[in-house]
Structure 1
Amino acid sequence: MRRFLPQTRRAVRAVTVWITSAPGTYLWLAALFVTTVALHRMSPEFEEDFLRRRSTNIHELSTDPVRVLIVSAFWIDGGVWAPYAVLYTVFHAPAEHWLGTARWLAVAALAHLGATLIGEGFLDWAIRHGHAPQSAVNTLDVGVSYALAGVVAVLTYRVPKPWHLPYLGAVLIFFGTPLIAERSFTDIGHFAAVLIGLACYPLTRGRGRPRNLDRGTDSGVRTPS
Structure 2
Amino acid sequence: MLIVIVINVVLNHAVSAETRSQIVLANSTNVDNLQHHRIWTLVTSAFVLDERVGVAAMIPLLLLLSLAEVLWGWRRLLVVFFLSNAVASCLVYGLLLVGVRDNWLGGAVTMASDVGTSYGSHAVGGALALTLPVRARRYLVPLAVLVVVVPLLNGGTFTDIGHLLAVLLGFVAGWQIRRRPLAGCRLRRDQAVAYSFADVTQARAALGTALRLHGHRQARLDDAVAACSDRAARIHVRETRDMSAIDGAVAGGAWGVVLGTFVGIPLIGLAIGAVTSAAAAHWHDAGLNDAAVERTVRALPTGRGALLLLADPAGKPTLTRALTRAGGTPVPS
**In the alignment, which residue of structure 1 is the partner of 2:29?**
56
Q: Secondary structure of 1:80's match?
A: coil
Identity %: 25
Q: Alpha carbons of 1:60 and 1:83: their partners in 2 closer, same or farther (altered >3 Å)?
A: farther
Work out whether 1:30 is the aligned partner of 2:5: no
Paired residue for 2:122, among 140, 144, 149?
149
For the residues of structure 2 that align with 1:43 and 1:115, how far apart are their CA atoms? 30
1:202 equivalenced with 2:176 (yes/no) = yes
**Equivalent of 2:139 in 166, 170, 184:** 166
Aligned twin of 2:73:
100
- Equivalent AA in structure 2 for residue 111 of structure 1: S
Q: Is the 8 A contact 1:110 1:196 kept in 2?
A: no
Q: Which residue of 2 aligns with 1:65?
A: 38
CA distance in 1, matches of 2:155, 2:94: 17
Of residues 30-39 and 177-186 in structure 1, the stretch that sits farther from structure 2 once superposed is 177-186
Alignment-derived partner of residue 23 in structure 1 = none
> What amino acid is aligned across from residue 35 of structure 2 in structure 1?
S
Kindly indicate whether the alpha-carbon contact (under 8 Å) linking 1:36 and 1:81 is maintained by their aligned counterparts in 2.
Answer: no
Query: How do 1:90-129 and structure 2 match up within 5 A?
Result: 90-129=63-102
- Could you state the TM-score of these two structures normalised by the residue count of structure 2? 0.52
Q: After superposing the two structures, state which structure 1 stretch, 115-124 or 144-153, moved more.
A: 115-124
2: CA distance, partners of 1:117 / 1:83: 30
The letter of the residue matching 2:116 is: G
Q: Is the 8 A contact 1:76 1:143 kept in 2?
A: yes
**Shift in Å, 1:84:** 4.9
Structure 2 CA distance for partners of 1:56 and 1:83, relative to 1, 3 Å: farther
State the AA in 2 paired with 1:67: W
Deviations 1:113-146 (A, max 9, x none): 1110111222222222223221221111111100
How far off its partner does 1:79 sit? 2.3
CA distance in 1, matches of 2:44, 2:178: 27
How far is 1:39 from its partner? 1.0
The one-character-per-residue Cα deviations of 1:161-188 (angstroms, maximum 9, x if unpaired) are 3121111111100011112322421111
Q: How far does residue 107 in structure 1 lie from its aligned partner after superposition?
A: 0.9
More strand by share: 2
Query: Retained in 2: the 8 A contact 1:77–1:143?
Result: yes
Shift in Å, 1:203: 2.5
Alignment match, 1:193: 166
Q: CA deviation at 1:193?
A: 0.5
- Matching residue's letter, 1:106: V
**For the Cα contact (< 8 Å) 1:55–1:142, is it kept in 2?**
yes
Q: Which has the higher contact order (CA 8 A, sep 6+)?
A: 1
Aligned residues: 187
Report which of the two structures shows the higher radius of gyration computed on alpha carbons: 2
Give every structure 1 segment of 4 or more consecutive aligned residues whose post-TM-superposition deviation is greater than 6 Å.
Answer: none
Question: Do the aligned partners of residues 125 and 83 (structure 1) sit closer, same or farther apart at CA in structure 2, a change above 3 Å counting?
Answer: farther
Distance in 2 between residues matched to 1:154 and 1:42, nearest whole Å: 36
How much has 1:58 moved relative to structure 2? 0.8
Partner SS, residue 135 of structure 2: coil
Tell me if structure 2 keeps the 8 A contact 1:118–1:188: no
Deviations 1:188-223 (A, max 9, x none): 111001111111122244659xxxxxxxxx9x9435
Distance in 2, Cα, partners of 1:155 & 1:137: 32
Corresponding residue of 2:258: none
Name the counterpart of 1:135.
Answer: 108
Q: Distance in 1 between matches of 2:100 and 2:9?
A: 35
Whichever structure has more helix as a proportion of its residues is 1
Distance 1:174 1:83, change over 3 A: farther
In structure 2, distance between residues paired with 1:81 and 1:190 = 22
